[in-house]
Structure 1
């Protein structure tokens, strides 16, 4: 009986220990003895958009240079929508920085006639200033060629824009970027063709892919202009898509393309480039997009 009692006490002890162990696991919620799982790091929040940058550099083409806004076949950067000092325009720089600061804290590196392939060197120049904002308006000259066959391929346009943003990011990684859409060239043709003087200037070789034979509306001319228009739309899609991959980039959402430029907004020298009034409208569009918090 002593041996049996000894065995009974041993069995009870083992069972008690097992029950205590089970109760202990349940009391602390299960696998208490295991290592504490490491918390996953929180994703880095996207940087907030600064709606009031303290310096601006502009890159692009003749539109940003104010071409034909003040005189025939000449740049007029004073009325540039991006960095001009004209009181008739109230450029983006003036609206954001104030007239006094804009004079010393804005730089215009756009070049009349520039295409997307020319943007990277301009970006390098702009980045050298360490700007808080860079404005981009380019693409019209990629579509405005001697023929539709000579227009910049969409793939090359994309590669050029990606390269230009890469140049900026290496030299000014925190700079914000505002990207304007390519204007609606077909609308500019439809508005300007009503002016005899404008059509004479167009014959000098201004955007022949769209403006050549301005009065022709036969199937071949219509197809040519439609081809140019589709290419402009493809360029704008590229600008939107590439910009969306950069957390410090804002596309205008097609606002410039959608703007219904009329004869008051067109140069009275060539009836194609923006007039002083047109430059002011571009400044308004850019300011609304940049100053918005979202």
Structure 2
């Protein structure tokens, strides 16, 4: 799975009550409660989060209420879309994936933090945060989120299984030296045969993740990228190069078909080991994948 930047975004639902427009001004010190829609793991440590916010300067008259739901790219964007389309007054702050920027910002659902933060805070974002993380939250000059954490998933493997297949991960420096997908396929196939198991590789390949997570990581490692250069990622919509039929995307699809159906498949690679990825992965999200991993 590819890494993702999760951010805190301010929903554009702060209104002066007249025309529904966002009204931003200096805090007057009145008692106020803000709702922060976040992931369950943060809701479990809300006391610690409140303490951290106070230590960082949060006014004592500002209270934070945390609301949590099922967290995952598969359904979180849909949930936020329903909330924002309905014009609900809460939540005020949302934990989002950076990929939501291009969907929410053009609809004016989020506050442009260039208008909300003092210049010293904007300068701090520029100087103390990773440039790529901050740029992922920009849309046509606006800034619509602050990076909260970076998620860097990895491919986990059963060390005993690969050792049974004759491999030595330490000797071959697997932890620091990346391998090709061809090499990965050979190892996965050998592990299936040596351990008499059904699958050598499980991942999420449902309608969403095949396009922007587990499928996209393979497109990138094949030398491709959606819309070409990174500068094109957020737009302008309708005026970006179409790369879905470029060779890296086609090779990625052939790779995945080989992993799933084996080299005898009509669209697979005949020179690659395969048949170790279950077709059920086409319906798995990240939560289902976790359950399959825990159940062995």
- TM-score in same-fold range (> 0.5): no
The structure having more radius of gyration, on CA atoms, is 1
Richer in strand (by share)? 2
**TM-score, normalisation: structure 2:** 0.30
Q: TM-score, normalised by structure 1?
A: 0.30
